[in-house]
Amino acid sequence: MFLSPDLIGVLGYAADALAMALLGLLLLTTWRGRLQGGLLLLAVVASVAWALLLAVQVQWHAVPVQLIWAAEAVRVVTWCLFLLGVLGQLQRGLVERLRPLRWSILGCGLLLLLPFEDWVPALLPGIGDWLAKARLVGQLLLTVAGLFLVEQVYRSTPWQHRWGIKFLCFGLGALFVYDFYFFADALLFGRLDTGVWLARGAVNALVMPLLAVSVARNPQWSFDLAVSRAVVVHSTTLMAAGVYLLFMALAGYYIRAYGGEWSAVFQPLFFFGAALLLLVLLFSGQLRSRLKLFVSKHFYSYRYDYREEWLRLIRVLSGKVLQATLPERIIFALAELVDSPGGAVWVREADGCSFRRCWNLSPAAVERRWDAARLCVALEQRGEVVSIGRPPEDSAIRAAMPDWLRDSSILWLLVPLMHEDRLQGLVLLARPRAPQELGWENIQLLQTAARQAASYLALDQAAAALFEARQFEGFNRLSAFVVHDLKNLVAQLSLVSRNAERYRDNPAFVDDALHTVRDAVDRMNRLLLQLRAAVPTEAQQRFALLPVLKRAIAERAGQAPQPVLQVETEGAEEVCIDAERLQAVLRNVIQNAQDAADKRGRVTVTLRADADAVIVDIDDDGCGMDEEFVRERLFRPFDSTKGLAGMGIGAYECKSLVALAGGRVDVDSAPGRGTRFRIRLPRADAAHVPQLATAAM
């Protein structure tokens, strides 16, 4: 089935109307209300109406001829007015000199809008043929004015800014030249060329992308229209693939028509080879790199879409795009910015700068045992990207580069990873797939991206150091608890040892000493169990608190001031907690009170109870503590005011143990007034025993 010329014309005008309508919709949604943007929008709307009218005329021949001529005039006049506005932005003095041309264009356009073919012949018989020629002459004059304005716009634009206006001039200039040929041919031969007329729609549709690129390049026209690089690259790829397939189809048709008896074999073989070649070309990294470079160089003022590049960089570094180690992600992120196929990274550490990873790079291209510490020191001074093919300006960098790196034909760039003022490492990038110049835009983007990558590297190193520190902290905390308990055991055994010479003949002392030694052995066995399990045991027991409190006071009775026990309850109240650890906690709190009070001071231990809890108050009249110390430091582990004599975990262990049993520790203290240390433990009534027993299993 073949397309008829009329159908081709309808499709061409419809495509032009659709393309211009899309451009007009984008302009309408981004217009800021300025005159230049309004003129451009008006010209686009006039082009849409013109294309729709001609599409309807080709298909149904139902549009009045006067309306078509009016649409032709309006279309050209609006584009001329827009070009005059562009000239006004470039040179105001030139616009003043072109003021007569503006009025001439408007006057000619208004005359062409009038349907004078209907009423002038009635007044002047025999003038009909001259009127048709006069209309063609008017259209020719408007197209010549348009060409003149296009030339003035291009000439008046400084050469360094013509990248933003050249596609507009090429597009509108091509339209005006085509219209000039169309109307000149009609004036010369006295009839409209049907083929040229039917092709005008497709010609205008082809020009629309050039206009869109110019609009995107000129924000001073008050539009925020942006054409994505990815869209342009993909569209160009699809268009090239379509042209390729078209030629392959023609070649296949030629083989089928003139291949003779071998055509049945050669045609499918040819189509398979052509399709395979197309797939290879579409997935070629070098071809894609060359295409991206071509589009960025010829269609955009800047090579990169910085918003897209930055978002892609963050996604890569955070591991959302590439599931690999952080050094590999850093190489991949930096390499993608300059179309490099791969690279290697060295990371700076305390003992030097060592090799970490390669990405898509042969192991023979780098010396993995090379220590880059000297080069890191040299790069840290300036933090600039270094091109390996050129001798660096800095003599220190030049001297620090090894021979294998300086003479490499594979490596291209040396990118330092700067975090604040310190160099975290460096990346070596391989030469790009498509040869390209290293400009200021590449260098600045690489330096910025390298700083972001260095921050990720510094964060990763800090996280590794924190994890290691937490491992040591867990070990040190367990050791501190063990040492703390051993210190108390040594104090008990030392007291027995000092009194043994004096009271060894006293049976009561011997019995007490044996009990103390037995108790010390049991506690040491429990410490050994804790060390083997690497966690403290949490054995829950139900017992009366008063006997445990008395034993803790008795253990501290040898130090002045001696603690005094006051019982304000029956003394039979029971709690459910680890009895051994509670006794050690009470003993430590009493000892802290004795250390805070003077030897002539006072330490009172009071046991009382209320409806819900059993309360132990330990009061002293010592130096006291301020509110900030109690809030910020008292219960912080390993924070001691006793210097080397204390471990700083007594108060922390007390609060942790009481909280585990569901109780609370309150401290009331002030400098010069003393301290009240209140331990509140819940009663071990019948309702709580099963729960605690279950929790301990």
Q: Are residues 612 and 649 in the same domain?
A: yes
Distance between CA atoms of 402 and 370, rounded to whole angstroms?
Answer: 9
Give the model's confidence band at 520: pLDDT under 50 very low, under 70 low, under 90 confident, else very high.
confident
Helix or strand (DSSP H, E) at 301: none
Handedness of CA 328, 331, 337, 342 (dihedral sign): negative
Say whether pLDDT at 77 is over 90: yes
The pLDDT of 377-388, averaged and rounded, is 86
Kindly report the number of other CB atoms within 10 A of residue 137's CB atom: 15
Q: Clarify whether residues 606 and 631 are in a common domain.
A: yes
400 part of a folded domain: yes
660, 649, 654, 655: which is closest to 480 by C-alpha? 649
Supply 10's token pair. Answer: 């309808």
Confidence class for position 444, pLDDT limits 50, 70, 90: confident
- Going by C-alpha positions, the residue among 494, 514, 512, 525 that lies closest to residue 551 is 512
For residue 566, the model assigns a pLDDT of 93
Q: Residues near 112 by Cβ (< 8 Å), separated by ≥ 6?
A: 69, 70, 72, 73, 135, 138, 139, 142
Instruction: Please report the pLDDT score of residue 437 as a whole number.
Output: 72
**Residue 693's CB: how many other CB atoms inside 10 A?**
13
Considering the domain architecture, whether residues 398 and 543 belong to the same structural domain is answered as no
Q: 339 pLDDT exceeds 80?
A: yes
* Tens digits of residue pLDDT in 94-127: 667 778 888 899 898 888 888 766 666 555 555 6
- CATH of residue 433's domain is 3.30.450.40
Bridge partners (DSSP) listed for residue 674? 670
Do 229 and 295 touch, CB atoms closer than 8 A?
yes
Rounded CA Rg of the chain:
46
Half-sphere exposure of 399 toward its Cβ, with a 13 Å CA cutoff? 6
How many whole angstroms from its chain centre is CA 134? 64
Give the percent of the chain with pLDDT over 90. 22
Higher-confidence residue: 550 or 598? 550
43/84 same-domain check: yes
User: Is residue 538 very low, low, confident or very high in pLDDT (cuts 50, 70, 90)?
Assistant: low
Output the 3-class SS for 523-562.
Answer: HHHHHHHHHHHCCCCCCCEEEEHHHHHHHHHHHCCCCCCC
- Asked whether the CA dihedral 233, 235, 240, 244 is positive or negative, the reply is positive
* Structural domain span for residue 208: 5-226
Which of 68-82, 303-317, 509-523 is the most confident on average?
Answer: 68-82
45 vs 16, 20, 35, 58, 345, CA distance in Å?
A: 12, 8, 15, 20, 55
List, in sequence order, the alpha helices (H) in 540-670: 545-555, 579-596, 627-632, 650-660
Q: Are residues 244 and 172 located together in one domain of the fold?
A: no
CA dist 204 and 515 (Å) reads 108
Residue 615 pLDDT greater than 90, yes or no: yes
Residue 571: phi and psi, rounded to 5, are: 90, 0
- Give the single-character DSSP code of 459: H
- Cβ burial 36-70 (10 Å sphere, 16+ → b, else e): bbbbbbbbbbbbbbbbbbbbbbbeeeebeeeeebb
- The CA distance from 198 to 8, in Å, is 7
C-alpha atoms less than 13 angstroms from C-alpha of 263 in its C-beta half-sphere: 11
Query: 253: buried, middle or exposed (CB in 10 Å: 19+, 13-18, 0-12)?
Result: exposed
CA distance 420 to 205: 52
Residue 129 lies in a domain: yes
Residues 427 and 566 in one domain: no
pLDDT surpassing 50 at residue 285: yes
- The reported pLDDT for the residue numbered 128 is 58
Domain limit, last residue, from 182, 198, 226: 226
Question: Which residue would you say has higher pLDDT here, 360 or 566?
Answer: 566
Residue 512 covered by a domain: no
Q: Between 298 and 460, where is the model more confident?
A: 460
d(CA 637, CA 288): 60
What is the pLDDT at residue 224? 45
What pLDDT score does 85 carry?
Answer: 86
Residues 559-573 have a mean pLDDT of 87
What is the tally of structural domains in the chain? 4
Angle, nearest 10°, between helix axes 65-90 and 116-123? 110
323 shares a domain with 278: no
408 close to 388: Cβ distance less than 8 angstroms: yes
Beta bridge partners of 426: 346, 416
Burial degree of 119 (CB within 10 A; 0-12, 13-18, 19+)? exposed
- The pLDDT, as a whole number, for residue 163 is 74
State yes or no: pLDDT of 505 exceeds 60: yes
- Neighbouring CB atoms inside 10 A of 332's CB total 19
Does residue 64 register a pLDDT over 50?
Answer: yes
What confidence tens digit (pLDDT) does each residue in 230-275 have?
555 555 666 666 666 666 666 766 666 666 665 565 556 666 666 6
Same domain, 429 and 548: no
Angle, helices 65-90/166-189, rounded to nearest 10 degrees:
140
Which residues neighbour 12 within 8 Å (Cβ) at sequence distance 6 or greater? Answer: 198, 199, 200, 201, 202, 203, 204, 205
In a domain, 458, yes or no: yes
Q: Please check whether residue 232 is in contact with residue 303, taking contact to mean a CB–CB distance below 8 angstroms.
A: no
**Is residue 360 domain-shared with residue 432, that is, in the same domain?**
yes
Q: Residue 488 corresponds to which amino acid? A: N
Of the given ranges (511-520, 570-579, 658-667), which has the lowest mean pLDDT? 511-520
Cβ pair 77, 45 in contact under 8 A: no
The beta strand positions in 360-485, using DSSP E, are 386-387, 411-419, 422-430
pLDDT tens profile 401-427 = 898 888 888 898 999 999 988 899 999
* Separation of alpha carbons 414 and 421, rounded Å: 18
Q: Which amino acid is at 239?
A: M
Cβ atoms of residues 571 and 680 within 8 Å: no
> Is residue 697 scored above 50 in pLDDT?
no
**Which span out of 295-299, 479-483, 573-577 was modeled with the highest average pLDDT?**
573-577
pTM across the whole model: 0.42
- Among 186, 204, 226, give the residue marking a domain's end: 226
For 25, the token pair is 């919709």
With a cut of 50, say whether residue 689 has pLDDT above it: no
- Residue 179: what pLDDT? 92
> Is residue 602 situated within a structural domain?
yes
Long-range CB contacts for residues 637-644, cutoff 8 Å, separation at least 24: 637/477, 637/480, 638/476, 638/477, 638/480, 642/595
- Find the range with the poorest average confidence among 187-201, 273-287, 314-328, 622-636: 273-287
* Per-residue pLDDT band at 225 (split at 50, 70, 90): very low
Q: In the structure, what pLDDT confidence band is assigned to residue 638 with cuts at 50, 70 and 90?
A: low
Average model confidence (pLDDT) across the chain: 80
313 and 462 both lie in a single domain: yes
pLDDT of residue 465: 79
So what's the pLDDT on residue 445?
A: 85
pLDDT at 288: 61
416 three-state secondary structure: strand
Q: Among 344-348, 425-429, 530-534, which is the least confidently predicted range?
A: 530-534
Identity of the highest mean pLDDT range in 8-17, 282-291, 387-396: 8-17
User: Confidence band (pLDDT; 50, 70, 90) for 44?
Assistant: very high
In the listed set 466, 499, 524, which residue is the last one of a domain according to the structure? 466
Does any domain span residue 549? yes
DSSP string, 154-195: HHHS-GGGGGGTHHHHHHHHHHHHHHHHHHHHHHHHSS--HH
Cα distance between residue 30 and residue 15, in whole Å? 23
- The pLDDT score that the predictor gives to residue 272 is 67
Residue type, 667: V
**Residue 595: inside a domain, yes or no?**
yes
Maximum average pLDDT range among 215-219, 326-330, 431-435, 489-493: 326-330
Same domain, 253 and 317: no
Residue 688 pLDDT more than 50? no
Query: 51 and 121 in one domain?
Result: yes
CA torsion through residues 519, 522, 527, 528, sign: positive
Mean pLDDT in residue range 438-460: 86
Residue 290 resides in a domain: no
pLDDT surpasses 50 at 440: yes
What does the pLDDT look like over 13-28, one tens digit per residue?
999 999 999 888 878 7
